[in-house]
Amino acid sequence: MGILAVIGSFETVSLPTNRRRVRYVIGVDGGGTGTRARLTRLDGEALGYAQAGPSALGQGVEQAWRNVSQAIEHSFRDATVDDWDPGECAIGLGLAGAIVASHSRDFLHAASRYAHVALASDGFTTLLGAHKGKPGAIVIAGTGSIGEALLPNGTHVFIGGWGYPIGDEGSGAWLGMYAMRRTQQAVDGRVSAGALVRAVQSVAGNTRDELLAWCERAGQHAYATLAPLVFDVETADTYAAELLNAAARSIDDIAVALDADGTLPLVVSGSIGQRLEPRLTPRVRARLVEPAGDAIDGALRLIRERLRGDGIVS
């Protein structure tokens, strides 16, 4: 058993691969905006770190694998390690979109040159990192959004994470799409052109043709780049402030659905989630704790647990 994919909770599938002695363990966190990789020795000593472009599986497995590979290669470069072999590497990955089984399997086939690969959603690795593998809940709102919890009985719960464009409420892409919708309505004359509309037009264009062309090219990442504009103008634009409040309510809803009793420690993470924390309800804010680690810590924990099960690490 060489390559392991975590799909959903703890279900695994394996693909044959040539295993050699593991020398390096790599943790990878990948989403709709970027990819981060941390290179460590087998004993856990950190050696290198690197970043690359988006690796959300919903944006394409080929793009994801290309950027994951780049981040890994650059982490070795950062560690000034030139002589390395994928067959001596174990990789734990948390990638957005890995909850879709077909995406995960396609990605794993691309990763077959590595000795061991454990793949989970970025939500699950963030959950593992935030609570050190112990029971807890997390809501991530970055380019996309999802809520996940590990219950005391070991059950792994998902809320949201339905993906762009229909789901991912409260995320950067969700905010960006509503900002663009408001801009289109203003160009039509259906609503007034406030500060948010003007900010979006400065990026995407003023005319109907320019906006249509921008939207035709845009994907999840492009819409997420509009989200900071909503925060920038919230004091000058009532609609922008209302939109941020709506995003915060979405995060509240996910948190409550994950743990209706409010007994689990909660971490809200992601670039959007962290900025929305002050807008969350008192009930949800009372559950917030500081994360013990990040998604890369969780990815490393994921692969080390697999290696421990195989007797490769103690």
% helix, strand, coil for the chain, step of 5: 45, 20, 35
Q: Which pLDDT tens digit goes with each residue over 223-234?
A: 999 999 999 999
What pLDDT is stored for residue 9 in this prediction? 43
Before 165, cis peptide (omega within 30)?
A: yes
Phi-psi region at 262: left, alpha or beta (left = phi > 0; alpha = psi -120 to 50): left
CATH code of the region 133-291: 3.30.420.40
Matching fold, domains 3-130+294-309 and 133-291: yes
Domain boundaries, the chain: 3-130+294-309, 133-291
Banded model confidence at residue 104, pLDDT cuts 50, 70, 90: confident
Banded model confidence at residue 15, pLDDT cuts 50, 70, 90: very low
Q: Which pLDDT tens digit goes with each residue over 257-289?
A: 999 999 999 999 999 999 999 999 999 999 999
Tell the CATH superfamily of the 3-130+294-309 domain. Answer: ATPase, nucleotide binding domain (3.30.420.40)
Q: Which pLDDT tens digit goes with each residue over 46-86?
A: 999 999 999 988 888 889 999 999 999 999 999 999 999 99
Residue whose pair of structure tokens reads 């650059």 in the numeric block: 74
Banded model confidence at residue 111, pLDDT cuts 50, 70, 90: confident
251 to 121, 240, 279: CA distances (angstroms): 18, 17, 10
